[in-house]
Structure 1
Amino acid sequence: MPHDLYLLAGRYRLIERLGQGGAGTVWRAIDEILDRQVAVKQVRVPDGLDPYARAQFTDRAIHEARSAGRLRDPAIVLVHDVVLEGHQPWIIMDLVTGRSLDKLIKERGPLPPEFVARVGLQVLSALEVAHMHGMLHQDVKPANILLDSDGSAMLTDFGIATPMGGRGEFGTGGSPGYMAPERLNEQPSGPASDLWSLGASLYTAVEGRAPFERDLPAAVAAAVLLHEPPFPMRAGPHLGGLLMAMLAKDPAARPTAPQIRQALSALPAAGTAPRRRRWWLVPAVLAAVVALGAGGWYAAAALRVEPETGRYAQAPDPCKLLSDAQAAQLVKAKPSRGTTRPGECQWVVRDRPQRSLIVRVWAERPDGDLGGPQVAQRRFASEKTTRAAGEGTQGRANRGGVADVNDVGESAIIQNSFTFYLDSTESGRSDSVVLFRTSNVLGEVVWHRENMPASNPADKETAIAAARLVAAALPK
């Protein structure tokens, strides 16, 4: 553990430890080049990883921290830099003065609904920016909401944010009482997962206790999965009804970000101007929300024309989109097939050089006035922009440019990358990744190879051929 005057990367002087959690330790430091104070997050690397897995974790952490560094919003704590030292990632962020929301709750107890709504609007803004850029926060909770001296709220810990698509490499992190049910069930995450966590955080702020408060973490997780929280009486009917809807078990039944913004802005003193019409129409609708669960959320919008779902009500089984014979022909060996997580299937050849063909698919649902295909198209465009921005050399990894691919779904792109091993300048692992979209379904094919020479890093033909087979196998 670094001592108080440890100099990180020859630049950041660690002064004091500010806090510690499951994801890492945060330090106050001095940037000796720019002579300013910063916050430095020492990312915790899981114990028991072999060198290869540790290198994978580190590279992923650095790449995702850099992706988070591109997010810009007044309610986002900026990420300035990420460095690797001692085989461990360190994330350099703005140092925000003030207190976290959880400390304010401990000091003052339940907070006024109008204040909580105002905090919710600012955190929602941060999440909307992240989601627009294809990133999920994955750890929204009162401890990660910072309140400045003027009362403005900021969302921190974007350094461990993860890309959308249900892959969630850091999906096991977070606090059980603020993790959406689908995350506890190891199901794909999406924007609705972050909004559930925001609802749980605002519930805690207005009630002075968490919605699923229990003595043991296992009991908390069980309550999130199986029980409804008590109605937050201190929140009042309007904010209380919104929070209950945000905490729905089914992601599709939760209000969208625009609906949440409209409801929070309708509260007195929460928005920038008063509104004559409240989103919540009458107390009877609120009673329906409480009595029927999140399904009642849509009662107020019963006359609204529902946007198009898209061709796929749910994502197809990825293991059925590519036959074992096709996979064997592609990888030029007899692979073993297995399901690693929901929405993903892989065919692995363990002979040297080890290689694997990974197929992932997920379906986008309507969001607000956008239909499923439009949401998928927006997600695809965001992913394309984000991946293109990652082109270049970062540490031991080199990512190529993003190129369009013809005849794979309605639209498709490919990107190649190569990463040197920690102890080598000649060999490493190679990835060719194809992302495609058809209607409201997004698919990804990863052709991964180990122990590859740096002179022969890419094999885009195999990845494209596999992606064509997968896209063609989607139900019509």
Structure 2
Amino acid sequence: MPGDLYLLAGRYRLIERLGQGGAGTVWRAIDEMLDRQIAVKQVRVPEGLSPHERAEFADRAIHEARSAGRLRDPAIVLVHDVVLEGGQPWIIMDLVSGRSLDKVIKEQGPLPPGFVAAVGLRVLSALEVAHAHGMLHQDVKPANILLDADGSAMLTDFGIAAPMDGRGDRYGSAGSPGYMAPERLNEQPSGPASDVWSLGASLYTAVEGRAPFERELPAAVAAAVLLHEPPFPARAGRDLGRLLVAMLAKNPAARPTVPQVRQALTAYVAAPGAPGRRRWLLPAALAAVVALGAGGWYAVAALGGRQDTGRFAKAPDPCTLLSDAQAARLMKGTPERSLTRPGECQWLVRQPGRRLIVRAWAERPDGDLGGPQVALRRFTSEKANRAASKGTVLREARGSVADVTGVGESAIIQNSFKRFINTNKSGASDSTVLFRTSNLLGEVIWHRDDVPATKPADKETAIAAARLVSAALSK
């Protein structure tokens, strides 16, 4: 454990320990290069790993932290950097003011249902963005929900987010027993429903003033999660209480989906006379934009006024933005097409291992910003974040970001190359184009396996595919 004033990576000076949990330790630090305060998460490396397993754990932690760093939402605390030092991954994040929800509950007891529902909507927004990018948070709990003075909420600790591929828990489960879904405690595959369960447990705690499976010992908590039903949250009222109970269903398939939870919470908050709504939410509605330090901010809905939603009420099916014939010409083979997850379509040529991935998502108005403004803000932020990722970490090298013409209203491309573990002569290559059209953001990824290290990039194919996708959107 480093002591006070430890200098990390020759740049981040640790000042004080802010908190510690099963996933690691969070420090307040100063970025001496930019002269600003930041938060640094020292990721806990599981005990008993062999040197190879330790290196593999660090490699995966860095990769997933970098993936989490690409998530952008007003309710997400930004991840800026990730470094490896002393055999441990360290995640550099915004230092956000405000108190955690668990501290507010300890100080004030049960919170008004209307306020809790509004907090739930903010956290849900962050989860929706993560899920759309194929990431699970895995540690939604009151301690990771930060509240500003006006009651607006942000979800932090995305640095330990994991992909939806069943591999996130290989070296042990992150999270707290009382807020981990039953399937995670049983070491079964996680999905968006797992984050829904954790959010339900967090909102239950906020509105009732105690956790749904509160017990004295952690083992008893885990047993209760697996075997018992929680008491009905009487303070929540009938409608919100029923929603929370449904979110805490043992079977993931029986839980409401993220869109269903959003619809229910939105209706509850908007309903006249929602308990606690006027007292807690009116100040937030009068706030405009609140700064949370360099790089971190969020907007709160302003009263009145019309907003430009943009051209796209919802994102189109990505599988319709590129024909199979077009994909075959680009990939020089006969691809298999599949909708890999909502908002993402993949064309795959198994031999010699090529994938063309198309993603699309539409941004909604946010406070006093219209949909196109939100999309522009996120595109600009993403461009800066990707430019900052240039460099080599372990076996993966990322190139510089370059502008692309003829794709949407604005577009960028970045190449990356990851050497195989057993050789430096070949590896996997990605050429990624990110573009913006009105309120829609799109991404085209051209992935190739077994590429010679002497010629890792093929940006022409990625750009050609992106131009075809952009043309389909303009029809």
1:10 aligns with 2:6: no
Deviation readout 1:33-91 (Å, 9 max, x if unpaired): 11111000011111121110010000100000000000000100000011111111110
TM-score, structure 1 length as denominator?
0.62
Give the Cα separation in 2 of the matches to 1:186 and 1:135.
18
Query: What residue in structure 2 maps to residue 396 of structure 1?
Result: 394
Give the Cα separation in 2 of the matches to 1:418 and 1:103.
45
Shift, 1:207, TM fit: 0.5
Q: Given residue 393 of structure 2, which amino acid in structure 1 is its aligned partner?
A: G
Query: What residue in structure 2 maps to residue 309 of structure 1?
Result: none
Q: Map 1:427-446 to 2 at 5 A.
A: none
| CA 1:82–1:376: 2 relative to 1, 3 Å | closer
Query: What residue in structure 1 maps to residue 186 of structure 2?
Result: 185
Q: Given residue 182 of structure 1, which amino acid in structure 2 is its aligned partner?
A: E
Conserved in 1, the CA contact under 8 Å of 2:344 and 2:358?
no
Deviation readout 1:166-207 (Å, 9 max, x if unpaired): 222366111111111111111111101001100000000000
| CA 1:154–1:224: 2 relative to 1, 3 Å | same
Give the Cα separation in 2 of the matches to 1:377 and 1:77.
24
Give the Cα separation in 2 of the matches to 1:166 and 1:378.
20
Q: Map 1:41-440 to 2 at 5 A.
A: 41-169=41-169, 172-267=173-268, 270-271=269-270, 376=341, 378=343, 384=357, 394-398=392-396, 417-418=418-419
Percentage of matched positions with identical amino acids? 74
TM-score, structure 2 length as denominator?
0.62
Give the Cα separation in 2 of the matches to 1:219 and 1:393.
47
Shift, 1:379, TM fit: 5.1
Give the Cα separation in 2 of the matches to 1:203 and 1:228.
13
Give the Cα separation in 2 of the matches to 1:60 and 1:203.
33
Give the Cα separation in 1 of the matches to 2:121 and 2:396.
39
Q: Map 1:11-50 to 2 at 5 A.
A: 11-50=11-50
Q: How many residues align?
A: 322
Q: Given residue 262 of structure 2, which amino acid in structure 1 is its aligned partner?
A: R
Give the Cα separation in 2 of the matches to 1:132 and 1:375.
11
Shift, 1:3, TM fit: 1.7
Deviation readout 1:243-263 (Å, 9 max, x if unpaired): 000001111111111111111
Give the Cα separation in 1 of the matches to 2:176 and 2:339.
33
Give the Cα separation in 2 of the matches to 1:87 and 1:454.
27
Give the Cα separation in 1 of the matches to 2:17 and 2:345.
40
| CA 1:274–1:417: 2 relative to 1, 3 Å | farther
Give the Cα separation in 2 of the matches to 1:180 and 1:18.
26
Q: Given residue 252 of structure 2, which amino acid in structure 1 is its aligned partner?
A: P
Deviation readout 1:203-225 (Å, 9 max, x if unpaired): 00000111111111111111111
Conserved in 2, the CA contact under 8 Å of 1:138 and 1:161?
yes
* Partner-residue secondary structure (3-state), 2:396: strand
Conserved in 2, the CA contact under 8 Å of 1:72 and 1:78?
yes
Conserved in 2, the CA contact under 8 Å of 1:28 and 1:39?
yes
Give the Cα separation in 1 of the matches to 2:83 and 2:234.
46
| CA 1:33–1:67: 2 relative to 1, 3 Å | same
Q: Given residue 117 of structure 2, which amino acid in structure 1 is its aligned partner?
A: A
- Structure 1's unaligned 5+ residue stretches are 277-372, 402-414, 434-447, 458-476
Give the Cα separation in 1 of the matches to 2:78 and 2:342.
28
Give the Cα separation in 1 of the matches to 2:211 and 2:112.
16
Give the Cα separation in 1 of the matches to 2:343 and 2:273.
30
Q: Given residue 397 of structure 1, which amino acid in structure 2 is its aligned partner?
A: R
Shift, 1:4, TM fit: 1.2
Conserved in 2, the CA contact under 8 Å of 1:96 and 1:148?
no
Shift, 1:432, TM fit: 11
| CA 1:374–1:59: 2 relative to 1, 3 Å | closer
Q: Given residue 169 of structure 2, which amino acid in structure 1 is its aligned partner?
A: E
Deviation readout 1:319-359 (Å, 9 max, x if unpaired): xxxxxxxxxxxxxxxxxxxxxxxxxxxxxxxxxxxxxxxxx
TM-align CA RMSD: 3.3
